[in-house]
Amino acid sequence: MTTTRGTGPNTWRPTRLLRRRLSLHPSLYVPLRRFTRPGTVVTAETDLVIEGFPRSGNTWMEALAHHCATRPLRLAHHSHAAAHVRHAHALGVPTVVLFRDPDSAVRSYLTLYANNLDVRDAFRDYITFYNAIRPLCGKAIALVSFTTVTERPAEVIERLARQHGLPVDPARIASGDDRAAVFARMDEKAARLKRDGGRSDSHPGHGPRGAEAVRAAAARALDRPEVQALRQKARTLHDAMTAQVRHSEGSA
C-alpha cells in the first residue's frame, strides 16, 4: 500500500471536519456514499453490515463472513460512518460494529496514512463514531471487540447464525488452515484494489515500505501533550463499550 496519502497532517483537515459532520446524518451521508461507493451501502436486501473505526478488524470480518458463508452473502461495509449504522438500524439489517483499543487503532491508522493525518483528528473520529452508535447497540447491532473477532472468530460467526439466521457456519473457521484462507481472501482484495505488493497490510508484521519508522513516529504522536485529553476520552469510551459487551454477554 502506498505511503503517500497526503502532503502533511493538516492538508485535509477541513475535508475531514466536513466528513465527520456528515457521517452522523443518514439523510446526507448515505446518498453521497451510494453515489461514490454503491456496492458498499446497506439496502433492505443486505444480509449483514460490518462497520467500525478504521484498523479495527473490518477487512478481517468481511473476509471471515464470506469464508464462513454457506451461500453468497450481500455485505455492506467500510464506510466507517455512524450514519451507515443508523441507516442499517432503520432498515432492520443485522450489523456488527467492531471496536479496538483506541491507542492501537489510532496508531495503526496513522501508520496506514504514513502520519499524513493529524492524530487529534483520528481520536476525534474514533470518539464521534462510537459515541453515536453506542446507544443503538444490542441484539440487532452487535458490538464486537477486535480481540474477539481476531482470536475467537467462531464465536462471532456462531452468534450471527444463532441470533440472525445468517447462512454462516462456525465450523469453517476451526483451524489454522481456515485462518490462512481468510487472509488469502484479504490478499485477493488487496490485489484487486492494486495495493502495494498485492498483499493485505493486516497480516501481522506486514505493512507499507518503511513501516517501522512510520510506526515509531505514530507512537510518538500519541504522546504529545495536546492529544492527551482526546486520548483519555477515547479510552473512557472504549472501556464503556467493553463493559457494555460484558453485560450483554452476561445477560444473554
| All structural domains of the chain with their residue ranges | 13-174+210-250
Q: Give the global pTM.
A: 0.90
Amino acid at 203: H
Evaluate the CA torsion angle 91, 96, 99, 105 in order and state its sign: negative
User: Is residue 115 within 8 Å of 218, Cβ to Cβ?
Assistant: yes
Residue 55 has pLDDT above 90, yes or no: yes
User: Is residue 168 within 8 Å of 50, Cβ to Cβ?
Assistant: no
Q: Supply the pLDDT for residue 206.
A: 58
Given 3.30.70, 1.10.150, 3.40.50, 2.60.40, which CATH number is that of 13-174+210-250?
A: 3.40.50
C-alpha cell of residue 130: 462510537
Q: What is the pLDDT of residues 146-183, one digit of tens each?
A: 999 999 999 999 999 999 999 999 999 988 889 999 99
Helix (H, G, I), strand (E, B) or coil at 9: coil
Q: What is the pLDDT of residues 89-115, one digit of tens each?
A: 999 999 999 999 999 999 999 998 888
Report the alpha-carbon distance of residue 133 to residue 128 in Å, rounded.
Answer: 9
Q: What are the percentages of helix, strand and coil residues in the chain, rounded to 5?
A: 60, 10, 30
Residue 1 has pLDDT above 50, yes or no: no
**What's the gap between Cα 119 and its chain centre?**
17
Q: What is the pLDDT of residues 126-145, one digit of tens each?
A: 999 999 999 999 888 999 99
Helix axes 13-22, 119-133, angle to 10 degrees: 0
Q: Supply the pLDDT for residue 205.
A: 56
